[in-house]
Amino acid sequence: MPPELKAEVNIMPKVTQGDLESLPPEAREFIESNAKLCQPENIHICDGSEEENKKILDIMVEQGMIKKLSKYENCWLALTDPRDVARIESKTVIITQEQRDTTPIPKTGTSQLGRWMSEEDFEKAFNTRFPGCMQGRTMYVIPFSMGPIGSPLSKIGIELTDSPYVVASMRIMTRMGTDALKALSNGEFVKCLHSVGCPLPLKEPLINNWPCNPELTLIAHLPDRREIISFGSGYGGNSLLGKKCFALRIASRIAKEEGWLAEHMLILGITNPEGEKKYFAAAFPSACGKTNLAMMNPSLPGWKIECVGDDIAWMKFDEQGHLRAINPENGFFGVAPGTSVKTNPNAIKTIFKNTIFTNVAETSDGGVYWEGIDEPLPPGVTLTSWKNKDWTPDNGEPCAHPNSRFCTPASQCPIMDPAWESPEGVPIEGIIFGGRRPAGVPLVYEAFNWQHGVFIGAAMRSEATAAAEHKGKIIMHDPFAMRPFFGYNFGKYLAHWLSMAHRPAARLPRIFHVNWFRKDSQGKFLWPGYGENSRVLEWMFNRIQGKASAKPTAIGYIPADAALNLKGLEDVNLTELFDISKEFWEKEVEEIKQYLEGQVNADLPYEIEREMLALEMRIKQL
């Protein structure tokens, strides 16, 4: 539980929906102690019903937090305070007794692999923020399941929040309400406490009617106590605590203890013209086309791709040795800019009903708009930007925030896999790592073996992204696309991945690396991408079946001549796409070595050091 506080006020707020008495004792104690601490006016236990959802949306409309988009069915637009628009890595912390439980101790400087806070500092931070923080507001109790209710791979959480936006969004992103409460019975649950940090009456007026407290924002994880405590931000990544906080940071720690994997990965099913099907999981940093790949329309005739999930995978070996994966989420929380009929037709077919848009532009006819939507505005239709101002292309700034979002039910996606809610999960046969690399990295290569594949994941690098507060385009290390999401020491995480090879009967998936983003000397992309990426998936599919040929290189296996199906594609320069330059890779190896030795330091597993050395030797021989 949160630190002990000498509460002056011990009067329990009125319960306006639900029955505290009927809850399991641990859940009731969690709610009551935090209600005494945060002092909300009312407590509302969410049931997840349609009727409740309508009321929540009405409350937000009344408060000016959202407005209805008249052009679509049950779609809404929220504009946030411009200071509350993204995950804030600098204010996202993990609390453990020892720093080394959270991050490796780097050779010099601070760790880039997570942010540790001591228990004493957290106690002080907690006590300056939470007492009385919900005064005048309703505390919503959100029981939710990450994963299909009743699946052996699923986990239950309860989030307490004073934000109706969180309630409406969690209803889309998780299985929320009465069924989740029933699944909890007397079992364990992850305790999630969230407040926007704006007790009523307000001390200063809100911007865009969006309550937040940027000066005091803190997102804290207490893995030993299975708790998440978030203050001051209403933005999805900081407030929908089932998402990155639970499904990655806390779940990765639970997964380590229980012997499974919680990963920042999409899951897709791919079926060949003969009707044979395989499932892949893939890890990409933000802005690398992850959602586009998960929902791809393949250009290859007779091939079919279906989506299990676009962001997070929980994976566990079953008794037969198959790596089984579920998508713990129930919705998509996707980046809007760049989403169009060309880049992701299936997302476009998903998002125009029952969706909450955040920080996109609004058209004068009640629709939404963003950069890269690729739809000309009808004559006479004007735009209001995410800053709630009239907007024209001469404004010199984007109409939608680069990290603006749609929050939409996964079940609406026209290509959801029939097994996407299967309780036992789908069998993963291939794992794909990737990044946005304008130079030097081939279109696709395959790891020599499991250990080499884990090294490839550890060595991932990509051009930086708008999803966090970093600006500009620099190549950043993003191991496993998990750098902001590790729930414990990355060296121990690598050891955990390596240990999968020693599972009895484990059928280890093949591991690949892709780069859709290589450019020529003129700065033009060498590969068309989007639906044409199915050609690369076809090669991987056939590799797993033992049908496609490959040739070894210094960095891994690449398709042998003519093994990549280019039928119907013109002007693809395979020589440039697959070029492995000694000069580039010498620098790359040096960068990877400095990063892993500097950042992971004493916790770097010897298998990874061995892979690094072996790569260095192979590059020397080029």
Q: Which residues are catalytic?
A: 288
The one-letter code for the residue type at 595 is: Y
Half-sphere exposure of 78 (CA within 13 A, CB side): 30
DSSP letters, 547-574, are -S-EEE-SSSEEEPTTTS--TT--S--H
Distance CA 190, CA 230 (A): 14
Q: Are 167 and 58 a contacting pair, CB within 8 Å?
A: no
Distance CA 282, CA 280 (A): 7
Task: Name the strand (E) or helix (H) holding 170.
Answer: helix 164-173
How far, CA to CA in Å, does 196 sit from each of 127, 163, 206, 419, 485? 15, 7, 12, 37, 22
Beta bridge partners of 332: 408
User: If DSSP codes are grouped into helix, strand and coil, which group holds residue 510?
Assistant: strand
DSSP structure class, residue 15? E
CA dihedral angle for residue 209, residue 211, residue 216, residue 222, rounded to 10 degrees: -150
Beta bridge partners of 357: 77, 406
| Phi-psi region at 261: left, alpha or beta (left = phi > 0; alpha = psi -120 to 50) | beta
Angle subtended at Cα 240 by Cα 405 and Cα 407, rounded to the nearest 5 degrees: 30
Distance CA 442, CA 69 (A): 44
Judged on CB neighbours under 10 Å (0-12, 13-18, 19+), 135 is: middle
How far, CA to CA in Å, does 281 sit from each of 28, 181, 431? 38, 30, 5
The answer to whether the Cα torsion of 69, 412, 334, 444 is positive or negative is negative
Judged on CB neighbours under 10 Å (0-12, 13-18, 19+), 270 is: buried
Distance CA 579, CA 576 (A): 5
Which of 49, 48, 332, 53 lies closest to 165, judged by CA? 53
DSSP letters, 379-423, are TT--EE-TTSSEE-GGGSS-SS-TT-EEEEEGGG-TTB-TTTT-T
Q: Are 429 and 509 a contacting pair, CB within 8 Å?
A: yes
DSSP structure class, residue 3? P
